[in-house]
Amino acid sequence: MSETHRAVVFHGNVQGVGFRWTTSRVAEKFCVRGWVRNESDGTVRCEVVGMNAEVCAFLTAVNDAMPGHVTAQNDVQPDGGSIPGSGFVIRR
């Protein structure tokens, strides 16, 4: 089985509310690795790698952990940056 690499941009009230911290804590419950960071346009970008079912469950859990904060979630092209070999990090 091969891994899936998804890059997602979250829109809404996602900066200054603990969204990145919550995302990194949610990631600890899944077999995924990746990163999350604030973007200058007020969105939050997340890149995650893992088995497809784990990645999908992780993204659902992020939304569930921050009810009312995410107004839209869009898949985008991965930026080509490095994904950690293990774990999930908050980038600045």
Q: Which pLDDT value is given to residue 60?
A: 97
Measured distance CA(38)–CA(71) in Å, rounded: 16
- Catalytic site residue 33? no
Q: Which domain holds residue 79?
A: 4-91
Which residues partner with 6 through β-bridges? 48
φ/ψ (deg, to 5) at 86: -155, 160
Catalytic hit among 25, 33, 37, 38: 38
- The enclosing domain of 52 has a CATH number of 3.30.70.100
Question: How many folded domains does the chain comprise?
Answer: 1
Q: Is 13 a catalytic residue?
A: no
pLDDT tens sequence across 34-49: 999 999 999 999 999 9
| Per annotation, catalytic residue among 20, 33, 45, 92 | 20
What's this model's pTM, rounded to 2 decimal places? 0.93
Among residues of the chain, what percentage have pLDDT more than 70? 99
Write out the E strands in 23-78: 32-38, 44-50, 70-76
Output the pLDDT for position 1. Answer: 75
At 82 the pLDDT is 86
